[in-house]
């Protein structure tokens, strides 16, 4: 069981961050066969052919993915702790490229866990080779989805931040992973991970949601540490036309159907716009219509306005409502518009 030891000052300075590189690592772990979190099978099926083409063309990427899928200790020079919410993939890639070759090789040897290092990885300029392979993988596998994925991750952070504000660090930490808890003496126990204890001692500690179900520690002492945890709501990454086909789409239109499904967890206008690839103005207009119809509600959280599904929106998104052209409310005059009435699923 891994343990992080924090002082009160360390805890007070702990914050959330995003890491595009960690998203790429999580995606490679899925495509390499290490894990398949629920809800991401569709994404993996779509990305699988592109990943196989990358493997065939790039032996370094193939060997690196195989290593990461087999190890319990990911290479630290690739999985560096991010600094904040605006971390750019280009900056993380530059950090990989700028790693001293000796350190990069030592990290790969450590990750090999006493197995021989694959010949494809054991070359003179490991950082340059890793940067080339990761850059190509990012472009082919994640770059088109990054705006939507980032929106999902931001929503997760807002959710965890709400738990922190309402219930404190114990509840916030406990929501990150099964069995994880913060103890009164400042120790964060992570039962799902193996490894030694790590004393933060004034270094940065960030909590990083991972859209592909990844859970690991990344270390760059004495500068920073990060705990990567599975994000919520990542099934929305495979939002396609098939996801919103049927009655709900015909009833309220595809854009509003997509928004309603995406609001399984609260989100802001800008987050929904990025996640679904819609214009900000169009997203705002559709949200206003859904709000007026009583399908969603909104509330302010700090400086952000968050939208969430109302009970009627939950039922419609789940397929529990159908359009009944013969229905009229018995206690009011007809307005010329038909109403949604509860119908059993068929």
Domains, the chain, with CATH or none: 2-230 (no CATH), 239-342 (1.10.10.10)
| Chain segment 259-274, per-residue pLDDT in tens | 888 887 788 898 888 8
Who has greater pLDDT, 279 or 322? 279
Is the Cβ–Cβ distance between 159 and 146 less than 8 Å? no
Res. 341: pLDDT tops 60? no
**pLDDT attached to residue 71:** 93
Q: What percent of the chain has pLDDT over 70?
A: 88
Q: What does residue 130 show for φ and ψ, rounded to 5 degrees? A: -65, -45
- Entry pTM: 0.75
Hey, which residues does 219 pair with through a beta bridge?
225
Measured CA to CA, the distance from residue 122 to residue 173 in angstroms comes to: 39
Residue bearing tokens 């990750």: 111
- Residue 3's DSSP bridge partners are 189, 197
């Amino acid at each position: 069981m891994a343990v992080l030891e924090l002082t009160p000052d360390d805890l007070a300075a702990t914050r959330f961050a995003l890491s595009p590189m960690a998203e790429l690592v999580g995606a490679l772990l899925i495509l390499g066969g290490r894990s398949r979190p629920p809800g991401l099978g569709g994404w993996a099926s779509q990305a699988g052919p592109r990943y196989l083409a990358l493997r065939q063309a790039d032996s370094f990427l193939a060997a690196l993915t195989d290593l990461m899928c087999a190890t319990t200790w990911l290479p630290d020079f690739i999985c560096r702790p991010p600094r904040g919410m605006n971390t750019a993939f280009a900056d993380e890639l530059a950090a990989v490229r700028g790693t001293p070759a000796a350190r990069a090789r030592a990290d790969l040897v450590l990750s090999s866990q006493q197995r021989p290092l694959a010949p494809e990885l054991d070359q003179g300029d490991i950082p340059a080779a890793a940067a080339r392979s990761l850059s190509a993988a990012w472009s082919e596998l994640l770059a088109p989805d990054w705006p939507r994925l980032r929106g999902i991750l931001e929503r997760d952070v807002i959710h965890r931040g709400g738990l922190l504000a309402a219930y404190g660090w114990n509840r916030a930490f406990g929501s990150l992973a099964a069995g994880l808890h913060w103890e009164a003496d400042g120790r964060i126990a992570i039962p799902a991970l193996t490894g030694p204890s790590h004393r933060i001692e004034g270094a940065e500690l960030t909590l990083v949601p991972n859209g592909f179900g990844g859970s690991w520690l990344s270390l760059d002492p004495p500068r920073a540490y990060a705990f990567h945890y599975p994000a919520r709501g990542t099934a929305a990454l495979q939002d396609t036309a098939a996801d919103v086909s049927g009655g709900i789409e015909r009833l309220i239109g595809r854009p509003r159907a997509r928004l309603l499904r995406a609001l399984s967890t609260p989100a802001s206008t800008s987050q929904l716009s990025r996640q679904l690839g819609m214009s900000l103005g169009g997203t705002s207009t559709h949200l206003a219509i859904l709000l007026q119809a009583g399908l969603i509600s909104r509330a302010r959280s700090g400086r952000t306005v968050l939208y969430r599904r109302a009970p009627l929106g939950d039922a419609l998104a789940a397929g529990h409502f159908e359009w009944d052209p013969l229905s009229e409310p018995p206690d009011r005059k007809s307005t010329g518009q038909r109403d949604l009435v509860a119908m059993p699923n068929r």
